[in-house]
């Protein structure tokens, strides 16, 4: 292993934060407080997670692993629903969408033998899947909100013609799903050319043969496509109905 980060090098690397702070103060961006809060939070959260994972990996208990995965899914849902202000039941919808997308994707990976059901594999992979599903759902919510606002007249006209709420919303729902999936598809197209993504970089960093590392990255690309499409489609199809009342009128 070539990993040489120690407390001293980490402390020196913290100087990089001063660069961001300096720019904020110099340009009067007003971000200095946010930067400090962000850095302190990142340090505390990562230390807590580091020790927590060390403990979970050591005890290797099924229920503890599942509880940690559920915790990740809940946090992802909590963050996704923040992107959908005004969408009723956004939290349970996001939770269900991320739960199913993560569950289905993980199950396929486990049954295919790509990963093992051990905490050191299940938990990081759950995090990757849930966070991508979270971003996709957040983008889809934003798209639903803006389209139902901008295309209000078109939706009203479809309803007036006797369309069901599904028929009146289908164009908006499809566009929202597309918007949610777009970043994953774009990054699938440019993977290796523009960025060396986290999984692959991590493995290479840890000294793994790059040819082996790319196989994991290919698996990640597959799983993220599945997770974002499932997450976005479930969330959109459950959320669009909340733009209507019981009389099938646009709220």
Partner 1 sequence: MTTLMQLQHVNYQVDDKKILTDINLTIPAGSHYTLTGPSGSGKSTLLRIMAAMISKTSGDLIFDDQPLESYDPIMYRRQVSYCFQQPTLFGATVADNLAFPYQIRKQTMDTDHVVEALEYVGLSAETLTQKIEALSGGERQRVALIRNILFLPKMLLLDEVTAGLDEANKQIVHEWLRHLNVDRHVTTVMITHDTTEIAAADQLLQVTAGQLEVLK
CB nearer to partner 1: give 144 or 230. 144
Quick one: tokens of 122?
Answer: 């299940």
CB of 140 to partner 1, least distance (A): 21
CB of 123 to partner 1, least distance (A): 46
Contact indicator for 102, 80 with CB cutoff of 8 Å: no
CB of 158 to partner 1, least distance (A): 7
CB of 56 to partner 1, least distance (A): 51
CB nearer to partner 1: give 59 or 160. 160
Give the long-range contacts of residues 88-94, CB within 8 A, separation 24 or more.
88/242, 89/238, 89/239, 89/242, 90/141, 90/239, 93/234, 93/235, 93/238, 93/239, 94/134, 94/137, 94/235
CB of 86 to partner 1, least distance (A): 18
Give the long-range contacts of residues 102-106, CB within 8 A, separation 24 or more.
102/69, 102/73, 102/126, 102/129, 102/130, 102/133, 102/227, 104/226, 104/230, 105/129, 105/223, 105/226, 105/227, 105/230
CB nearer to partner 1: give 53 or 250. 250
CB of 132 to partner 1, least distance (A): 32
Q: Report the interface residues with partner 1, using CB under 8 A.
A: 153-154, 156-164, 167, 171, 245, 247-249
CB nearer to partner 1: give 169 or 229. 169
Closest-CA residue to 112 (of 197, 38, 215): 215
> What's the CA gap between 181 and 20, in Å, rounded?
31
CB of 177 to partner 1, least distance (A): 19
CB nearer to partner 1: give 212 or 248. 248
CB nearer to partner 1: give 27 or 247. 247
CB nearer to partner 1: give 36 or 171. 171
Quick one: tokens of 109?
Answer: 């990976």
Give the long-range contacts of residues 159-162, CB within 8 A, separation 24 or more.
159/248, 159/249, 159/250
> What's the CA gap between 74 and 77, in Å, rounded?
5
Contact indicator for 184, 132 with CB cutoff of 8 Å: yes
């Amino acid at each position: 292993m070539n990993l040489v980060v120690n407390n001293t090098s980490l402390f020196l690397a913290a100087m990089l934060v001063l660069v961001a702070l300096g720019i904020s103060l110099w340009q009067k961006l007003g971000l200095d407080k946010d930067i400090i809060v962000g850095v302190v939070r990142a340090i505390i959260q990562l230390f807590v997670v580091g020790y927590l994972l060390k403990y979970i990996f050591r005890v290797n208990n099924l229920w503890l692993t599942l509880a940690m995965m559920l915790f990740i899914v809940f946090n992802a849902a909590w963050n996704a629903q923040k992107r959908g202000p005004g969408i009723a039941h956004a939290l349970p919808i996001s939770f269900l969408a991320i739960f199913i997308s993560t569950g289905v994707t993980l199950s396929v990976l486990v049954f295919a033998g790509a990963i093992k059901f051990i905490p050191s594999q299940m938990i990081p992979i759950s995090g990757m899947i849930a966070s991508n599903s979270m971003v996709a759902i957040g983008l889809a919510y934003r798209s639903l909100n803006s389209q139902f606002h901008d295309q209000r007249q078109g939706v009203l006209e479809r309803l007036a013609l006797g369309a069901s709420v599904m028929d009146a919303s289908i164009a908006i729902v499809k566009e929202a799903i597309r918007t949610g999936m777009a970043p994953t598809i774009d990054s699938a197209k440019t993977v290796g050319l523009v960025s060396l993504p986290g999984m692959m970089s991590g493995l290479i960093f840890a000294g793994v043969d790059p040819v082996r590392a790319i196989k994991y990255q290919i698996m990640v690309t597959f799983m993220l496509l599945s997770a974002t499409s499932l997450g976005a489609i479930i969330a959109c199809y459950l959320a669009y109905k909340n733009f209507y009342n019981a009389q099938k009128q646009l709220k």
